[in-house]
Amino acid sequence: MGSGKRAGTDERKLNFLGWQVKTSVKNGFFRTVTGNKINFLDMELMGKSIKQFIKFGLVGVSNTLLSLAVYYIFLWINADLYLVGNIAGWLVSVANAFFWSQKYVFVSEKASLASTLKKLLKTYCSYGATFLLSTLLLYLEVDLWQWPASISPLLNLLLTVPLNFLLNKFWVFRR
């Protein structure tokens, strides 16, 4: 056993589209390690990702409440400002999402101002993309497919929340 393999472990290496991939099976559990450390089949990593997703959901609840609070403040000031309130609520809630995602969900180490601003811009881009996707879906669902306007935004969350999680995890914070 001088090869460095442990008993009960079957390892294989291959080159896939320029990425070095090493797979191993140990005691019935798959472990796949790629060159860029994205690892979908590692049970330990899956558990960590599930915990992060739950934390991300909790942050999302606070984002929603904060966005609604800002929106209703604008309505209270003047009902004609509902669009301004919606935009202001979105801007504030994404800043909140960035702060708590960095401190609580994906736990980033201290970074330079330039690196932090880059992550903040990526956060606004990811939330902006899913906001546009949700708006497009809302239009299709309500205007074309005649789905109830009260239900459609909730259904869209089933797509946009996991998508935002993946964008934040693997693109913004690279965790």
Q: What is the pLDDT of residues 64-120, one digit of tens each?
A: 899 889 989 988 898 888 888 889 989 999 999 999 888 888 877 788 899 889 999
Q: Decide: 172 and 128 in contact? Cβ < 8 Å.
A: no
End-to-end Cα, the chain, rounded Å:
35
pTM above 0.75, yes or no: no
Q: What is the pLDDT of residue 29?
A: 41
Choice between 137 and 175, residue whose per-residue pLDDT is larger: 137
* 6-64 residue pLDDT tens: 455 555 555 545 555 555 544 444 444 444 444 445 666 677 888 888 998 898 899 98
Shortest CA distance to 93 belongs to which of 74, 115, 108, 71? 71
Buried (b) or exposed (e) across 99-125, using 16+ Cβ within 10 A?
ebbbeebbebeeeeeeeeeebbebbbe
Shortest CA distance to 58 belongs to which of 105, 103, 119, 94? 105
